[in-house]
């Protein structure tokens, strides 16, 4: 059996990842594909505990390297327990953030050495990369404005320049991997964003399933 596709959704806070994830899930289900939706950090008991630790403001300023190590530990578990078995089982896995987020937040945002992150990525992913990454891009203030009513966690209280570095890192990743990473302008009405997103998704499905034959 052909394995399922591994799709990740990325972008800074409030750009619309969760909203778009739901649209992707709906579209895949409508076309009769078995789907697994998950998120990082998270997806397993260990992953959700790591998420709590990282977002807990009372934990008191975890350093970039500590965050990176925790996140990759959670990612190893997530891959082993959830993602790899689901893909092997023919399911399409849609994940809210993955390793690109670690390059963007812990690398670009907190200054963790890129090479160190690459070594950890190699260790836990063993060559598995997303088949498609949808990067939702909008000015930082647009995303932060969209979530301004919500309770803010530790990351959301970071200063503006932190998120600017994160956004820039994401755009650099997209420039380096244009085949895998598709950047979508998220600074538009939601219908326009999901419209383009689903078009890119349909194109990807055609390529991915065509390649399987």
Ligand X SMILES: Nc1ncnc2c1ncn2[C@@H]1O[C@H](COP(=O)(O)OP(=O)(O)OP(=O)(O)O)[C@@H](O)[C@H]1O
Q: How far is the CB of 183 from Mg ion (least distance, A)?
A: 18
Closer CB to ligand X, residue 178 or residue 189?
189
Contact between 212 and ligand X by CB under 6 A: the answer reads no
- Helix and strand numbers (H, E) in the chain are 9, 5
Query: What is residue 143's DSSP assignment?
Result: H
Instruction: Output the smallest distance, CB 149 to ligand X, in A.
Output: 8
The nearer residue to ligand X, 13 or 137, going by C-beta atoms, is: 13
* Among Mg ion, ligand X, none, residue 146 binds (CB under 5-8 Å by kind): ligand X
Residue 107's binding partner out of Mg ion, ligand X, none, with CB under 5 to 8 Å set by partner kind = none
When asked if residue 18 is in the footprint of Mg ion (CB under 5 A), the reply is: yes
86 neighbors 36 (Cβ within 8 angstroms)? yes
Contact with ligand X (CB under 6 A) among 3, 146, 154, 168: 146
Considering only CA atoms, give the Rg of the chain. Answer: 17
CB environment 37-76: b (16+ within 10 A), e (fewer): bbbbbbbbebbeebbeebeeeeeeebebebbbbbbbbbbb
Stretch that binds Mg ion, among 9-17, 69-77, 111-119, 184-192 (CB under 5 A): 9-17
Rounded-to-integer distance, Cα 86 and Cα 187, Å: 33
**How many Cβ atoms sit within 10 Å of the Cβ of residue 22?**
13
Question: What is the DSSP secondary structure assignment for residue 138, as one 8-state letter?
Answer: -
By CB under 6 A, residue 100 contacts ligand X: no
- For ligand X, the binding residues in 4-43 under the rule CB under 6 A are 11, 13-19
Binding stretches for ligand X (CB under 6 A): 11, 13-19, 146-147, 186, 188-190, 193
């Amino acid at each position: 059996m052909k394995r399922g596709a591994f799709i990740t959704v990325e972008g800074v806070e409030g750009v619309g990842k969760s909203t778009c994830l739901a649209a992707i899930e709906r579209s895949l289900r409508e076309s009769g594909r078995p789907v697994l939706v998950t998120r990082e950090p998270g997806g397993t008991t260990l992953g959700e505990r790591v998420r709590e630790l990282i977002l807990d403001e009372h934990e008191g300023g975890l350093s970039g390297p500590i965050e990176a190590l925790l996140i990759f530990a959670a990612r190893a578990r997530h891959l082993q327990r959830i993602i790899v078995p689901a893909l092997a089982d023919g399911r399409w896995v849609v994940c809210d953030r993955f390793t690109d987020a670690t390059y963007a937040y812990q690398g670009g945002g907190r200054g963790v050495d890129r090479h160190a992150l690459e070594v950890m990525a190699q260790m836990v992913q063993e060559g598995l990369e997303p088949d498609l990454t949808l990067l939702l891009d909008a000015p930082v203030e647009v995303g932060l404005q969209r979530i301004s009513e919500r309770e803010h966690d530790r990351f959301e209280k970071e200063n503006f320049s932190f998120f600017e570095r994160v956004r820039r890192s994401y755009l650099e990743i997209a420039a380096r991997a244009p085949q895998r990473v598709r950047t979508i302008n998220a600074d538009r009405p939601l219908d326009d964003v999901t419209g383009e997103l689903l078009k890119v998704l349909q194109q990807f499905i055609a390529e991915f399933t065509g390649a399987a034959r």
